[in-house]
Amino acid sequence: MGEKNFENPDKITDLKYGFDAFKNGKALFNKKKRLPTMGWNSWNAFGSGNTEALTKAMCEKIVELGLDKIGYKYVVLDDGCYNAKRVDGHLESDPVKFPSGFQGMSDFVHSKRLKFGMYNDIGSKLCSGLEVGTCGYEETDAKDYIKWDIDYIKVDNCYNVWDNATFSNPENARFTFAPNIRSIRINKTNDSGKSVFQINLSAVEDGEITGNRAFIERDYVTGIGTFDGTGPDSTPLGELSSELVFNVNVPEDGEYDLYVTYATGSFEGAGAWLQVTVGENGEYYYDDFLSVTENQDSFKESPSIKISLKAGENRLRLMNHRRQENTLLSYAKIKENFEKINPDKDIVFSICEWGKTQPQNWGYKVGDSWRILNDITFQVGSDGDSGHASWEGAYTTSVTAQYNKAVIMDSFSGPGKGYNDPDMLMIGMDGLNETMCKTHMTMWCMMNSPLMLGMDLRNVKKDDFICSVISNEDVIALDQDPLGIQAKRIYTTKAVSPDTTYLRDNDRIDVLCKPLADGSIALSFINVSLGDRKDSVYIGTDLIKHYMSEKMADPDRFFNADKFEITDLWTKEKKISEEKGFSCNELKACDNLTIRIKPL
Amino acid sequence: MDNSEYLSKEKFIKETVRFSGISEDELLKKGVLKTGDFLDKNELIDRKNVARILHNYLRIVLKEKDEEDISKAYILKDLFDCRVCANHIAQVYLKGIMDAENLNGLVIFDVFGKVREDETEDYFRKIGKFIK
């Protein structure tokens, strides 16, 4: 097979892949309404050093510890399992690390009544640099994965050829940002070529910037694209893509010529790819590169772009949503091939583009979950080394960095949509004590996160605290509750709007509320900070009603109940309360009180 | 760039074998090297892969413990560009084996940069200090 030639991303042949369709709530495929996936993934435990022998040992331990019986079914090979290059165009296993091949591994996993998961990447290479990414090989790979009888696939985003993702050419930003725009000119000519209408509009004075990515720089608008969400800097809520919009009044229906005065770049914030549309859900009149200018401050006028306008006011949108659209197209191409080759094969599809392209907006169209940030740890383990985890720290590499973002993303999650994925559990790695592990588990279960274990299970014993934390069936029941609703943060000691404020200062107590299928709710009081707190926090039923009543299975029964049965899901203590509220008086550092409240 | 002054993958592997006294096959089996290191052997090796091999050698062969707190390496602006090599880079940087570059206050590791023979000698000289 020759080298693949990557020139331009796919055309958007159907507006169902386009930005305006992100809000229509329609998946591209008949998605199974599943609950968050539970299992074990090799990455946090062994990094690129996972082997067939280690994976088999993990399968044996899952069964020995009874983890399979409580839902941990999927065993996923992450990066580091492939041969460095394709063989006759096909993926193969690393012959040293996986001598029995993927078929042998799959057969072994299935022989233990577990499910088999694999890993790949929408780019040209995997993150480890092996030249076996799916880009350009989607059909071949889908056939092979189905032949190997996989039940799950995690798909990464390194070496993306259509965006400046990790290890990509940084100049790929030219695909994903519009050029800087100084002004536009709209012209209409009659049959004899004479101009009958003309209007000149300044980007700065007449244009309207939507969203929070673009801004004015001197006499032009720049940053027309989508905010990169890989790092923890930005809230995931609100309009994270920007457009430059002009309200254009024209005297009559017809075709007009649009000329854009622009300057191109090839870096985050200024690119060379322009999209033009009018109104909502309309066709793209232009969706391509403009010719390159000398630099990002050297402006020139584009050739004519034909647009159709109606008499009266039109909303002319200059934009670049290709960061999101290209990534959706890449993931959809893999999924489409699975569907084409065997529509009955049930494969969990885990999107791992690290929140870069704001997948909370579009991930539901193709995936069962989507990562929301870069990795939870970079200090992964190896055989004999547990790896390192942190409760808090800079960037994305801590329990709280992931939690702080995911906790306000409940509106994107659900059984028909998919789930926010704050990355794999770090329970069992060095750096987290028992209290932290309990709260980490609680957070992930309350937030309906996939529960993928990431420790070397050979170090886990039936009677140790790690096993008891990951096996707490009452807490797992929250994650796997059939209602499938992610908890909402209904109170925090830090902010007025607990459900929408992105908080990164951990010195606080949060209260999360999760409605459950039997009409109960779960309440979790979480001390996010590294210090003990003596706060007394009281949550009345009126506050629960305000935030949760529309999502609850049976709100009337709950709010009209005379008393409640309250179960502490960690200590297992039960009590009956006639109070119309629930309180927590003090919490040790990083601790949580999580109760299930059943109306009687 | 004059490529002749930079080390290929093959040459760097040879240097690792020479320094460690361990054969290529054994380094592969131990996990210090990976199969991809033996493909396109004439390509120049980049700094992120050098960091990986050096860190793996320290960890696996010399049994040197990782620095637990890598937050001081967060100063490297390109550290988080690389999910698979971030810890390798952080460890060799914090242990003083590989340096970063300071460009007007912007500190970068230069993950795609290449390495010269004298730099390689310096890395192994520094690694030698970890032999107990």
Between B77 and A510, residue with greater pLDDT: A510
Residue A532 has pLDDT above 50, yes or no: yes
Any CB–CB contact under 8 A between B125 and chain A? no
Q: Provide the 8-state DSSP code for A302.
A: P
pLDDT at A4: 65
Q: How many domains does chain B have?
A: 1
Q: Between chains, do A128 and B59 touch, taking CB under 8 Å as contact? A: no
Question: What residues of A are in contact with residue B82 (Cβ under 8 Å)?
Answer: 127, 166-167
Percent of chain A past pLDDT 70, that is, above it, reads 99
pLDDT at B31: 87
Interface list for A 55-94 with B (CB within 8 A): 79-80, 83-85, 94
Q: Are A483 and A451 in contact (CB under 8 A)?
A: no
pLDDT at B80: 81
pLDDT at B1: 57
The phi and psi torsions of A387 (rounded to 5 degrees) equal 75, 175
Query: Residue A48 is nearest to which of B60, B68, B84, comparing CB atoms?
Result: B84
- The chain B residue lying nearest A79, using CA atoms, is B84
Burial readout A119-144 (b: 16 or more C-beta within 10 A, e: otherwise): bbbbbbbbbbbbbbbbbbbbebbbbb
β-pairing verdict for A74-76 and A115-121: parallel
pLDDT at A372: 98
Name the residue range of residue B102's domain.
3-128
Any CB–CB contact under 8 A between A374 and chain B? yes
A474-495 pLDDT, tens digit per residue, is: 999 999 999 999 999 999 999 7
Residue B81 has pLDDT above 90, yes or no: no
A79-126 pLDDT, tens digit per residue, is: 999 998 999 999 999 998 999 999 999 999 999 999 999 999 999 999
Percent of chain B past pLDDT 90, that is, above it, reads 68
Q: Are A314 and A250 in contact (CB under 8 A)?
A: yes
Query: Residue B66 is nearest to which of A47, A379, A393, comparing CB atoms?
Result: A379
Quote ipTM for the complex. Answer: 0.80
**Alpha-carbon gap: A379 to the closest alpha carbon of chain B (Å):** 5
Percent of chain B past pLDDT 70, that is, above it, reads 98
Burial readout A150-166 (b: 16 or more C-beta within 10 A, e: otherwise): bbbbbbbbbbbbbbbbb
Question: What residues of A are in contact with residue B86 (Cβ under 8 Å)?
Answer: 378
A161-217 pLDDT, tens digit per residue, is: 999 888 888 899 999 999 999 999 999 999 888 999 999 999 999 999 999 999 999
Residue A585 has pLDDT above 70, yes or no: yes
Centroid of chain to Cα A457: 27
Residue A7 has pLDDT above 60, yes or no: yes
Any CB–CB contact under 8 A between A430 and chain B? yes
Q: Between chains, do B68 and A388 touch, taking CB under 8 Å as contact? A: yes
A319-336 pLDDT, tens digit per residue, is: 999 999 999 999 999 999
Mean pLDDT (whole number) for B106-111? 92
pLDDT at A3: 54
Mean pLDDT (whole number) for B20-44? 90
User: Mean pLDDT over all residues of chain A?
Assistant: 96
Interface list for B 40-99 with A (CB within 8 A): 49, 59-60, 66, 68, 70-71, 74, 80-84, 86-87, 90
**Alpha-carbon gap: A127 to the closest alpha carbon of chain B (Å):** 7
Q: Between chains, do B84 and A47 touch, taking CB under 8 Å as contact? A: yes
- Comparing CA positions, the residue from A147, A150, A144, A125 lying closest to residue A136 is A125
| Integer CA distances (angstroms), A504 to A323, A448, A508, A528, B12, in order | 26, 21, 10, 10, 43
For chain A, list the domains and their CATH numbers: 15-161+325-479 (3.20.20.70), 178-319 (2.60.120.260), 488-599 (2.60.40.1180)
- The chain A residue lying nearest B31, using CA atoms, is A49
Residue A2 has pLDDT above 50, yes or no: no
Residue A1 has pLDDT above 50, yes or no: no
Any CB–CB contact under 8 A between A457 and chain B? no
Query: Residue A129 is nearest to which of B28, B29, B36, comparing CB atoms?
Result: B36
Interface list for B 11-30 with A (CB within 8 A): 28-29
A397-453 pLDDT, tens digit per residue, is: 999 999 999 999 999 999 899 999 999 999 999 999 999 999 999 999 999 999 999
